[in-house]
Structures are given as C-alpha cells and as structure tokens.
A = this chain, B = another copy of it.
C-alpha cells in the first residue's frame, strides 16, 4: 500500500463501501465499520439529525433506511486530497441519494470507518439558484404587463399571510429565525417570520448596553453574506442589530415586526397549524403547514421562586431586562448568578461607579477570551485558519464530524492547555473565593454549552474585578429575600437596593406550553442537551441535541436556534427538511427521538 496515496486509498475504501450499499449487502457495509464507530447523518439517510454508534446501530439504521436512500457515487470530494496522520486516514467526501446530493467527512482507522459524517447539501430538482444559476434579475425579452421586482415584493408583502398562506411560520426573528428564513427563501418556501420587537435586530439592541458578541467573528457569519474582513472580532450588540436588519431586507425576508403569536393549534385533519397573531394590534390568522420556534436559547427568562421576592422594596429584574448601569450610581446592586450575563453586568456596573456584589450559588467555568479564541477555536475559526485554507463551510463540517459521544475527549486536552496557560489567573480567582469548575469531566466550555447551554463565563475583564475585590463576591444559596437584603443559607445578609437575577433561561418548550398547550409541551419535551448525565443534562444519552433542527414528537413542529454558528449551519438542514416536505418528497424519519424529560 505504500505506493498508494491517501486519496487513492480513501477512494478505494469508499468504492467498496458504496458497492456494498448499492448491492444492499448491509452486513458487508457494516463490517467496513470499526467496532468503535460513529455515523452522524444530517438528513441525507435518516431524514433526521442522528448519530448511530457502533455496528449494531449502523446495521439497524441501514436496514430501515438504505432501500429508500439508494446512495451512490461515493467520492473523495472534487478538488480535495485525503490526509493521513496518527493512524487516521481522513477525507472529504461527496455522495448522492435518491433525492439529494450530499457531502461529508470520513475518518478511517486501519482501513475501517471510525467516524462518518454524511450531510445533505441539496435536493435534486430543488437546488438553490446561486452562482451559475443565480437569477437573472432583469426581465429580458418582451414581457407585456410584466411587474417589476419592487411590485412583486409589494404584492408578496400584501398577500402573504392574507390571501395566500405561508408554508412555514417561524416564531422569533433573532439570528435563528433570520438565518432559517434566508435559507427557506432561497429554496422557494413561502415563510413568515414573527418578531415581537419593532425592528430586526432589536433582540440584540435591547440587551444591556455593554453587550458584545462572545464568539469571534469567524464563527458568527450568517448564511450567504459573510461579515466583512474589517468587521470587529466581537461585534457590539447594536452593530449586530444593524447587520441583522440589513440582512433581513436584502435577503427579502417576509418579516413581521410588532407581531406576537397568541395561540397555535394543530389541525390534524387539515394537517396545518392555526396561529393567531397579534400583528401590530390587529389579529391575523395564519395557517402554515409547518411551525418553527426560534425563540432563542436565551429566550425564556428563568427566575427561581425565591422566598420573599414579593417583599423586596427595591428594583428587581431578570438579567434579560437589565438596561445597563446608568442610573444606579449610589445604589447597592446585587447580582444573583455567576455566569456570563452576571459577569458582564457586574463589570459594567463597576465601570459606572456602582457598588455591586455578585452572589455565586454554584461553580462556574471561566475561560479567558484570548485563550479560548486561540486554543479553543483557532484551528477552525480564525484569521490564521483562513490563511491556512480553512473555510467556514469546512470548519462547520469538521466541527459537526466530531461525534458528541467522544467530543469531550477532544476537548479535555485543549482545556488542560488553557488551565496551564492561565494558571496564575485561576489561582488568583480561587484566592478571591470564586468557585471554579472545568465542566463535569474537565471538557470545558463548549461541552457545557452543548449539555446545558450555560454555566460559564468567557472572561473579558470581569474576573480581574473579582480578583481585585472591585466587584464584591458572596457565595451561597439564597435562603430568602427581605425588604432590603438577600439572606444566604450561610447566614450572610447582603444589603440591596436593586437585585438582578442573572439566573438563566428555561427550555424552549416553555414557549410551546404558553402558545399551544402544556400537553404539547410535554409531548415534545425538553429542548437542548445531549443526555450526558452531567449537571442540568440528565440521561439517558441522546446522541444529538434534544429537539433541535429536526423532527419532534409533535408533527410539523420544529425548533431552530443556538449560537450564530449553529443558527448558520443547522439552518441548512432544517430548511432542506421543510423544503422536502413542501415538495412532497418522501422523508422517512429514522430514530425519531423519544422524550425522557419534560423540561
């Protein structure tokens, strides 16, 4: 084999695999997998987002799906070369199915498949009009009575939701709803996005004034239009707001502002939803075939039911309602919570000269922004990565190709490096009394995010304020709130004029309960988390994010969202699933997730 290039060997292995699949020789195909193996499929085979682990699960999936999928033409992707390092032969791949074209990434160990990612790229006959097939724009030739683009848009705005029903309604016009809406428009799926605020981007504008993105720009691009090369690394909230507003306009989204969904019911007979929308004070009834909740990971504010909240005489609000530090000088502000919002808010208050105390109720994982950017993301999302030939699409797929089951093993060494690099910093924090963690298994921030969506702070300066005692720190559980103080379980009493509850957010199916009913919310179950049996992410193992970007136990009900990377990347797969249904293509779902938790 020494005279064969990695590419040649990869292609040969793919040929064998492809031949077995095409002949329906499932056992042969299964035997091409290593004992420890992971096949993550994003729609192409399973019409789901599904990771099967181990040969038995691979067999089970193929028995269910192979006949309909009819995969073929497995190739090392055009223009790519396979690579080999540390015993792993890795290759970008492309393939076809009965209804689509896909691509992915495969990793072989000793000639057997260790990890396989297959992702649906496009549906045959329903490809996006882009590049060589981009629309002409001008109307050439003779077009008696032709309408202009502007007239067509005006007609659309006038009729969609009234004379003509959208196929999809998306509740929530933040980056998730916007990214998904853009993909759906490119696929020709009539869609209305409902946003309660006045303008696209307001969900960012209305946050506390010092807020900037915590993820760096290379991670954050929206579909189709990248942030320019001179966009800041961490965009201030209002700048993101402006970009989202611009994007919504130029991507021609049907975006209803000042619009709130009041109720939604599933009509089993007509197979459609009935959604009553308050559109700027007027009720409109929408009847889409598909309903997507894009209400945000940080959407449904959670305030624990502390004893005595109603007694408190001062001002109190959830962090999502916190306007910023202006007007609080001279007051004692107490922030309950020690994760990202808490730190940002405390730092801003201190900068404005306000007396502020943070109450830490449980451990927090802290990583410094520079360190995280460098060690955590740098190989995939950075200027250096771009200079090395990385693209956003590739980075997203490489990320997606790491099986959730073993992702922590990739992460742990990175966080060990970070711990080492910033040892003095952590020692100083602990000396100040701050309680640190590194995730349940030392796997750090991203796993915490995937498992529970919270529990960390990406430090951009607030930690130093805690180290220096400039932001006061108290530790303990909240026992009760009095007229003017918070009493902790250890007896400490912290005087307060203002309380900010930086106490996180609830599962998105809370919106389902509000809008549809509790029964449907329970049917659908908890949103987010991997079932890792770590704090706030109880087992059993799910293998994928609960309920995100894929079919749920409620027909035609979906969830979209996550950070900007996820909003961008997973909007592709969700939009294709919706398009396929609109076109009446067969979409046999494999392994629809069971529900183990209600919230």
* B-binding residues in A (CB < 8 A): 128-132, 134-146, 148-151, 153, 186, 209-210, 212-213, 217, 224-225, 228-239, 242-243, 245-247, 249-250, 351-353, 369, 383, 386, 460-461, 464-465
Contact = CB atoms under 8 A, between A and B. Distances in A.
- For chain A, what secondary structure do more than half of its interface residues adopt (helix, strand, loop), or is it mixed? loop
This protein's copies in its complex: 2
A400 to B, nearest CB: 22
A150 B236 contact: yes
Contact of A229 (B134, B137, B217, B383): B134
A197 to B, nearest CB: 16
A148 B353 CA distance: 16
A53 to B, nearest CB: 36
Contact of A217 (B134, B213, B228, B464): B134
Contacts of A132: 383
A353 B145 CA distance: 8
A232 B136 contact: yes
Contacts of A224: 228-230
Contacts of A143: 351, 461
A496 to B, nearest CB: 23
A46 B238 CA distance: 42
A138 B460 contact: yes
A142 B250 contact: no
A244 to B, nearest CB: 10
A246 B225 CA distance: 12
Given A150-B238, A383-B132, A141 B230 contact: no
Nearest to A225: B228
A576 to B, nearest CB: 16
16 contacts: A132-B383, A134-B233, A134-B383, A138-B212, A139-B210, A139-B460, A141-B464, A142-B461, A148-B209, A150-B236, A153-B238, A186-B230, A224-B229, A245-B249, A246-B246, A246-B247
A233 B142 contact: no
Given A145-B351, A148-B209, A228-B224, A137 B246 contact: no
